[in-house]
Amino acid sequence: MAAYEYLYLVTYDISDPKRWRRVFKLMKGYGDWLQLSVFQCRLSRKRHAELIALLDGIIHHTEDHVLIINVGPAESVKPQVVSLGKEFEVLERQPVIV
Amino acid sequence: MPENDTPIQLELPMPFPELGGDMPLLPARMVNEYQYCPRLAYLEWVQGEWAASADTVEGDHTHRRVDKPTRNFPEAGDIEPHEVLHGRSITLSSNRLGLIAKLDLLEAEDGRVTPVDYKRGKRPHIAKNAYDPERVQLCVQGLVLKEHGYVCEEGELYFAESRERVRVAFDQDLQDLTLNAVNGLRLIAAGGHIPQPLVDSPKCPRCSLVGICLPDEVNFLQGGAIEPRPLAVMRDEALPVYVQAYKGKIAKNAEALEISVDDAVVQSARLIDVSQVVAMGNVYITTPCLQDLMKRNIPVSWHSYGGWFIGHTVGTGHKNVELRTAQYRASFEEHICLTIARGLVRAKIQNCRTLLRRNWRGDDKPDALLDRLKALGEKSLRATDLQQLLGIEGAAAAEYFGAFDKLIKKSDDPRQMSFDFATRNRRPPTDPVNALLSFAYSMLVRTWTMNASAVGLDAYRGFYHQPRYGRPALALDLMEPFRPLIADSTVLQVINNGEVRPSDFISAAGSVALNEAGRKRFIAAFERRLAQEVTHPLFGYKTEYRRLFEIQARLFGRYLLGELAEYPNFTTR
Ligand code: SF4
């Protein structure tokens, strides 16, 4: 079966602090915050389309810049990452049990 | 009238019976869907099914630039001949035609108007530069415009990705095609019969309702020759959130749920990843959070601290009234109840038998026992009433639970506590194994209750289990075959793998229950079981149990609506 979800790195440069907050809040709903203006997300085709539509509605095309980088199929990808300082873990999907 | 005149075929302006006052107008978009696939239009228009897909999300996004409506586009008579005008997001309807259309863009020039419809993607490279469903949708707009007195001979499709415009002339052929689609849609809506799914069509993989329609599965079960493609078998993106911690509180923060205990945030979960919220015991959900969950169609189920399922909170519920009507109707028919019940009991007994065979730890082979169960399974198909069936089920349960202890791993060290099982007891369970079984069943009831309501069935109206206040009878019915496969097997798993130990239980006043940590591990094991992939014995493809439940519930609906001659029960080997 074809891969259903992909892992993405999303980075952004937003020139206005108010818009930056909005983008940050939106991104929190779609992925895991890695560091300032960088998120990792697992997205299906539908979520991917949604996220692009929503981001596109917030940013100013002439002043801001968003990059959405596809890292590979979410279930199987093992990104080769050198992580200094903190640990980097690939996002997994699991039920939340508190 | 002179005899030799050929009779003139009068054209009826309204070929279908006049619209009554309460007949809804058909949206142009629906006519498009009908042209794409009549079944799709029926599912959406008559049954109220809707599912977003990547394509529909992109489609909505494409429309956003034209979605800000223009006020006061001039009436047909008020357009000056040399005026050039643009109007956006104009909604027009015609009662005579019984149609309503939302126009993305309307341009007027030289006294004529041209509707422009926005499409995502690129212009298709085919003869007419556009597919029929899109051309038909545009033509509906043209018809409604003409009805309002505008001069309108053609329209345009604008393809957002390739930024190309395609002219579409409203010639006689297209008008005929369009009226044909309009009438066809009215006919199927009035007839109340769902059109057949397409056969092995390349349209289905792109169809947003494929997971609801189940084209290949339905064709296959109706005796089709082609093995189903795993189309509908997508994985659930979203998973449940369980909160069982004492004094847990769930609130919403931006796009996430925040779970706190004693005012300290302990976990957060993105709302897009949440399929349902399971609240056990004294858990508090803030009202704004609950409202947002309802808006997003994320159900909340409520349980006692020990896991007993109390009820659930959903939004306004599923729109598929047709399905529920069929469900009620069938539930009043004794012979239908009996047929359904027989199949469920038989599948359950078969699956019990499989579980025994696979997990047997005794030295002797339980051949005689397996034979007895097999005989009971066959006998259940011959039961003449529910009472008799109940007796057969009871006999099978006695055999099954009589041997259940033989599936449990015993500690080699006699000084260590181990799990023992003598008989099944509940309310309250008096030993750890029974406590686990009861807890697992209540988890399974919850799963099936959510599942049944999510596909539009009424979880409380059953066929085998008779309705009783507050009891999700249908969920109890449909889960029967899955008791051994999901619940009992999870219980065996946690015991035999040592995930839950005898010391994880608390007993008070003769009843036994899992403690908080043990329950957390048990829930995790249960969810792991649901995520396990199985090969569907009929369709041949692999799918997670979680998704399989949904397919089974939908197939049950198809059976109730008369599309399938029988409900295909799930059994494993
Ligand atoms: S899945 Fe195929 S048959 Fe079913 S509604 Fe969609 S296009 Fe029609």
**Which is it for strands A38-43 and A32-35: parallel, antiparallel or unpaired?**
antiparallel
In a mutational test of the pocket of ligand 1, which residue from B199, B210, B551 has the highest number of ligand atoms less than 8 Å from its CB?
B210
**What is the torsional sign of CA B502, B355, B452, B329?**
negative
pLDDT per residue as tens digits for the range B228-237: 777 665 556 7
- CATH number of the domain located at residue range(s) A5-73 in this protein: 3.30.70.240
Report whether pLDDT(B19) > 70. no
d(CA B484, CA B481): 7
What pLDDT was estimated at residue B234? 58
**Which is it for strands B99-109 and B85-94: parallel, antiparallel or unpaired?**
antiparallel
* Least confident stretch, A26-35, B173-182, B284-293, B400-409: B400-409
Is B500 or A16 the better-scoring residue by pLDDT?
A16
CATH of the domain at B95: 3.90.320.10
Residue B211 CA, ligand 1 centroid: distance in Å: 9
Q: How far, in whole angstroms, is CA B344 from its chain's centroid?
A: 21
Tokens at B275, concatenated:
């399929």
Q: How far, in whole angstroms, is CA B85 from its chain's centroid?
A: 45
* Least confident stretch, A34-48, B70-84, B115-129, B215-229: B70-84
What pLDDT was estimated at residue B460? 85
What pLDDT was estimated at residue B264? 87
Residues found in chain A:
98
The closest of B551, B518, B519 to B535, measured between CA atoms, is: B551
Give the DSSP H or E segment for B28: helix B28-36
The closest CB to that of A96, out of B57, B64, B267, belongs to B267
d(CA A97, CA B243): 6
Q: Does residue B17 lie in a domain region?
A: no
Amino acid at B566: E
Report whether pLDDT(B13) > 50. no
Report whether pLDDT(B71) > 70. no
What pLDDT was estimated at residue B417? 64
d(CA B405, CA B110): 87
Closest Cα to atom 7 of ligand 1: B204
Size of interface A-B (CB pairs under 8 A): 85
**Please, are residues A53 and B58 in contact by the beta-carbon 8 Å criterion?**
yes
What pLDDT was estimated at residue B539? 84
What pLDDT was estimated at residue A68? 92
Same domain, residue pair B328 and B384: yes
Report whether pLDDT(A1) > 60. no
pLDDT per residue as tens digits for the range B182-204: 888 888 888 778 888 988 888 88
Most confident of B23-27, B146-150, B521-525: B521-525
Tokens at A9, concatenated:
């790195």
In sequence order, what are the beta bridge partners of B166? Answer: B157
| Ligand 1 pocket, Cβ-based, cut-off 6 angstroms | B 37, 39-40, 43, 197-198, 201, 203-204, 207, 209-210, 213, 215
Sequence-distant (6+) residues with CB within 8 A of B76 are B148, B149, B150, B151
Is B314 or B115 the better-scoring residue by pLDDT?
B115
Of B259, B293, B313, the one marking the end of a domain is: B313
d(CA B378, CA B243): 42
Q: Which chain B residues are closer than 8 Å to A30 by Cβ?
A: 255, 270, 272
**Please, are residues B205 and B215 in contact by the beta-carbon 8 Å criterion?**
no
The closest of B140, B180, B179, B188 to B41, measured between CA atoms, is: B188
Q: Chain A closest CA to B53's CA: distance in Å? A: 5
**Please, are residues B241 and B257 in contact by the beta-carbon 8 Å criterion?**
yes
Q: Does residue B567 lie in a domain region?
A: no
d(CA A89, CA A40): 10
What pLDDT was estimated at residue B138? 92
Same domain, residue pair B32 and B155: yes
The closest of B94, B119, B114, B55 to B182, measured between CA atoms, is: B94
Report whether pLDDT(B1) > 50. no
Q: Does residue B44 lie in a domain region?
A: yes
**What is the torsional sign of CA B409, B412, B416, B421?**
positive
Q: Which chain A residues are closer than 8 Å to B273 by Cβ?
A: 93
B390-400 mean pLDDT:
88
What pLDDT was estimated at residue B537? 84
B123-146 mean pLDDT:
88
3-state helix, strand, coil in chain B (%, to 5): 45, 15, 40
What pLDDT was estimated at residue B514? 80
Same domain, residue pair B223 and B259: no
In a mutational test of the pocket of ligand 1, which residue from B30, B49, B198 has the highest number of ligand atoms less than 8 Å from its CB?
B198
pLDDT per residue as tens digits for the range B485-499: 999 999 999 888 888
The closest of B501, B494, B572, B493 to B533, measured between CA atoms, is: B572
pLDDT per residue as tens digits for the range A40-97: 999 888 888 889 888 988 888 889 999 999 988 887 888 888 888 888 888 877 888 8
Percent of chain B whose pLDDT exceeds 70: 88
d(CA B216, CA B239): 26
Same domain, residue pair B406 and B308: no
What pLDDT was estimated at residue B490? 94
Q: What is the pTM of this model?
A: 0.80
Same domain, residue pair B453 and B409: yes
Of B283, B313, B343, the one marking the end of a domain is: B313
What pLDDT was estimated at residue B64? 64
Q: Does residue B95 lie in a domain region?
A: yes
Helix ranges (DSSP H) in chain A? 17-30, 45-58
Q: Is the peptide bond before B288 cis (omega within 30 degrees of 0)?
A: no
The closest CB to that of A4, out of B234, B242, B256, belongs to B234
**Please, are residues B426 and B434 in contact by the beta-carbon 8 Å criterion?**
yes
Flag if B542 and A1 touch (Cβ within 8 Å). Answer: yes
Report whether pLDDT(B130) > 60. yes
Flag if A47 and B64 touch (Cβ within 8 Å). Answer: no
> Rounded to the nearest 5°, which phi and psi values hold at B265?
-70, 125
Report whether pLDDT(B20) > 60. no
What pLDDT was estimated at residue B418? 66
Same domain, residue pair B267 and B327: no
B454-477 mean pLDDT:
82
Sequence-distant (6+) residues with CB within 8 A of B78 are none
Report whether pLDDT(B70) > 80. no
Amino acid at B361: R
Amino acid at A17: P
Report whether pLDDT(B53) > 80. no
Same domain, residue pair B277 and B340: no
What is the DSSP code (8-state) at residue B50?
Answer: -
B454-480 mean pLDDT:
84
| Ranges of each domain in chain A | 5-73
* Least confident stretch, B241-250, B419-428, B479-488: B419-428
Flag if A93 and B54 touch (Cβ within 8 Å). Answer: no
pLDDT per residue as tens digits for the range B505-557: 777 767 777 878 888 899 999 999 998 888 888 888 888 898 889 899 999 99
In sequence order, what are the beta bridge partners of B312? Answer: B301
* Least confident stretch, A17-26, A27-36, B141-150, B495-504: B495-504
What pLDDT was estimated at residue B286? 93
A31, exposed or middle or buried, with CB in 10 Å at 0-12, 13-18, 19+?
Answer: buried
Q: Does residue B13 lie in a domain region?
A: no
Encode burial over B229-244: b for 16+ CB neighbours within 10 A, e otherwise.
bbbbbbbbbbbbbbbb
Same domain, residue pair B186 and B249: no
The closest of B256, B245, B294, B222 to B520, measured between CA atoms, is: B245
Angle at A83 between CA A77 and CA A87, to 5 degrees: 85
Number of domains forming the structure of chain B: 4
What pLDDT was estimated at residue B12? 47
B288, exposed or middle or buried, with CB in 10 Å at 0-12, 13-18, 19+?
Answer: exposed
**Please, are residues B243 and B259 in contact by the beta-carbon 8 Å criterion?**
yes
Mean pLDDT of chain B: 83
**Residue B281's domain spans which residues?**
239-313
**Please, are residues B482 and B550 in contact by the beta-carbon 8 Å criterion?**
no
Of B289, B313, B337, the one marking the end of a domain is: B313
**Please, are residues B411 and B417 in contact by the beta-carbon 8 Å criterion?**
yes
What pLDDT was estimated at residue B99? 87
pLDDT per residue as tens digits for the range B342-370: 999 999 999 999 998 888 887 788 888 88
What is the DSSP code (8-state) at residue B502?
Answer: G
Same domain, residue pair B176 and B134: yes
Q: Which chain A residues are closer than 8 Å to B266 by Cβ?
A: 98
B306-329 mean pLDDT:
82
Q: How far, in whole angstroms, is CA B65 from its chain's centroid?
A: 32
Amino acid at B339: T
Rg of the Cα trace of chain B?
29
Q: Does residue B4 lie in a domain region?
A: no
Same domain, residue pair B137 and B277: no
Distances in Å between the alpha carbon of B98 and those of B42, B186, B503? Answer: 17, 10, 70
What is the DSSP code (8-state) at residue A2?
Answer: -
Same domain, residue pair B277 and B421: no
Report whether pLDDT(B9) > 60. no
What pLDDT was estimated at residue B287? 92
Same domain, residue pair B171 and B106: yes
